[in-house]
Amino acid sequence: MKSSQFILKSIILYAALSAAFSIPGLFPILEQFLPKSYVIGNPLEVSGISVEHVVGHVVFGMIVGLASMRIRYVAIAGLFPIALDADHLVQFLNLEAVPRMSHSVLFGLISVPLMMFFVGKKDYLLGAVSFSAVLAHVSFDILLGGTTSFPFFIPVINKMVSFQGNDWITFLLIAVAVVGITRIVTKNRTIEHKLQET
């Protein structure tokens, strides 16, 4: 698959998964597993979208993507944190919902096999970037907002969890480590496989 097609397909799917993941937050039947839902409001008015917000997410994502040492993963790592905000689209319905559903470990974990299945089978770097995009996004949100809350540990903790101060550094370092370690492991496996073939 050409890099441009790979990047476009990956971004569209990641955004679609993020938007779809916000839908369970509309159903009261799941309220024991999720934070309290409420009418959040138009995301264009309440979500604080700005040039700084967009550029910051892209830059933090690209920092994480650099650990892959491959251009196309740097590109998708930069765009995935923006695509993650597709979970705000549910707010346009003007219904009670749980905000920022995709800003969670659960979404990160679910996105890994789905992205690998639909875009790149056995592409472990794609999976690593998909998970790390959540951490990169949360990292910049903390830095930008000072103190901010996410349904980060749903459904294990059914409350919004607050992060602040230097927590952003921890999230960013973990995100970089996930991609970097995945690159090293997959590279070593490729080398071993080639040696076995010779």
Place of tokens 């008015």: 45
Q: What is the pLDDT along the chain (198 residues), one digit of tens a residue?
A: 688 999 999 999 999 999 999 999 998 888 889 999 999 998 877 777 789 999 999 999 999 999 999 999 999 999 999 999 999 999 999 999 999 999 999 999 999 999 999 997 889 999 999 999 999 999 999 999 999 999 999 999 999 999 999 999 999 999 999 999 999 999 877 665 555 655
Is 64 in contact with 56 (CB distance < 8 Å)? no
Q: Where in the chain are the domains? A: 3-197
Per the CB < 8 A criterion, the answer to whether 113 and 46 are in contact is: no
Q: How many CB atoms are located within 10 Å of the residue 100 CB? A: 26
Per the structure block, which two tokens stand in for 12?
């569209």
